[in-house]
Amino acid sequence: MKLDKPVTGGPCWTELGTSDLEAAKRFYGGLFGWRAETDPRQEAGGYTVAHLGDAAVAALSPLYQESQPVAWNVSFAVADADAAVEAVKAAGGTLLLGPMDVFDVGRFAVALDPAGAAFQLWQPRAFPGAGVFNAPGSLGWVELLTRAPERAVAFYTTVFGWSVNASERYTQWGIDGADFGGMVTMDEKFPPEVPSHWLPYFSVEDVDATAADAAEAGGTILMEPMSVPDGPRIAVLRDPQGAMFGVYVPGEEG
């Protein structure tokens, strides 16, 4: 992505809700070299922050509700979570949770876009978000997979003011033209039970080796490594508990 730090309107954080926190720590620690630190406070509910060196790069947490799927979630930074929630609802989205304060670190909400893709809003206070983007093992791209691309463009440009860089092959999202993610239209190749969703991509040094390592560690390769014309080399993987994520080596997109 062409962002090197969290900015208002852009992706600032990604976190995994998992059915087996200890197994997730082992899997992603081995895959990306993450060092996991679990918040010891009982009210934190096992929330664990993954680090590369001293930089926070992602979070892992237990499932907090029975209805919560095992999945990676993407957070977008906002100046005012309450105002952003109202904008989401006015544009046709749905509020799932919040807004609520998270200790002294920020204010948080979870919403669905009009096609049902979940995303998170983060109003930073003590914690702005990821300490590094684009480095191997850190967040480098976010992608919306949706069955309603035109509604998605209308919704996200209204709520966040994103710029849109669209070609025949792919649509990219940006902040004032600094692209940070994209959009894929879900067609008949996607099973009908797979909902619209946001997918984080983590930068790696070698997509093929990372995919092989993930499979050896009990994960699944959902999309074999491939090179996008004039773009990145990518793969889509699933961890042993069922959460999907992407890995990539950047190309011209960022």
* Residues ≥6 apart with Cβ < 8 Å to 187: none
The Cα–Cα gap between 188 and 190 comes to 5
Amino acid at 181: G
The Cα–Cα gap between 172 and 139 comes to 16
Contact 57, 130 (CB under 8 A): yes
**Whole-prediction pTM value?**
0.95
* Residues ≥6 apart with Cβ < 8 Å to 62: 17, 18, 19, 21, 45, 46
Per residue in 33-87, pLDDT (tens digit) is: 999 999 998 888 899 999 999 999 999 999 988 888 999 999 999 999 999 999 9
Sketch out the chain's domains with CATH numbers: 11-124 (3.10.180.10), 139-249 (3.10.180.10)
Per residue in 94-153, pLDDT (tens digit) is: 999 989 999 999 999 999 999 999 999 999 999 999 999 999 999 999 999 999 999 999
